[in-house]
Amino acid sequence: MGDLTVTIRPGRRTEIQNMPFEGNGRGYTILGDMFNASRRGQVDYSPSSRSWSVSRPHTNAVIHGLAARYGRVTVIQHGGVEKCVEACWKTGLPENAWLCECACAGRNHGSGQPFKVIVGGNGPGGQLSVQARAPHVFYVG
């Protein structure tokens, strides 16, 4: 069994993986009690991914509740997207990377290589390349 892990993604329900088993269906009560759940559906279980989930506003309460009950919790927080403008990755000079004012902070500068996905292209700023920012991992408890 892996580490007790809470995964947070923008605009998604917060997932809890590897929660210790304390009896059939007990997870609904254990997690629900952490934020005084008032109705069914606020705590959900997915048999296919074997993970529990709660709606995003209850994330803090659940992380602290899990840490208090089970000890250490691994939290994986996915952020937004990194953006890099065409003037940076396509036409920027690599030797000027330290002067880059782009969200890529010079990592793409003049590389000719955009991030994963390219959007736009018709505007005055040219193409914008984007990719998901690397998740932030930390430990509670």
What is the smallest separation between the CB atom of 45 and Zn ion, expressed in angstroms?
42
Name residue 43's amino acid: V
Q: Count the site residues for Zn ion by CB under 5 A.
A: 5
**Distance set, CA 20 to CA 17, 51, 78, 92, 116 (Å):** 9, 11, 24, 51, 37
- 104 near Zn ion (CB under 5 A): yes
- 88 near Zn ion (CB under 5 A): yes
Q: How far is 99 from 91, CA to CA, in rounded Å? A: 14
Here the tokens at position 66 are 């899990």
The SS3 call for residue 75 is strand
Among 108, 114, 115, 130, binds Zn ion (CB under 5 A): 108
What is the smallest separation between the CB atom of 77 and Zn ion, expressed in angstroms?
23
Of 8-16, 46-54, 77-85, 110-118, the segment contacting Zn ion by CB under 5 A is 77-85
CB 54 within 8 A of CB 33: no
Q: Cα(first)–Cα(last) distance of the chain, in Å?
A: 19
Q: Which is nearer to Zn ion, 1 or 95 (CB)?
A: 95
CB 48 within 8 A of CB 91: no
- 84 near Zn ion (CB under 5 A): yes
- 102 near Zn ion (CB under 5 A): yes
Q: Which is nearer to Zn ion, 8 or 88 (CB)?
A: 88
Binding site for Zn ion (CB under 5 A): 84, 88, 102, 104, 108
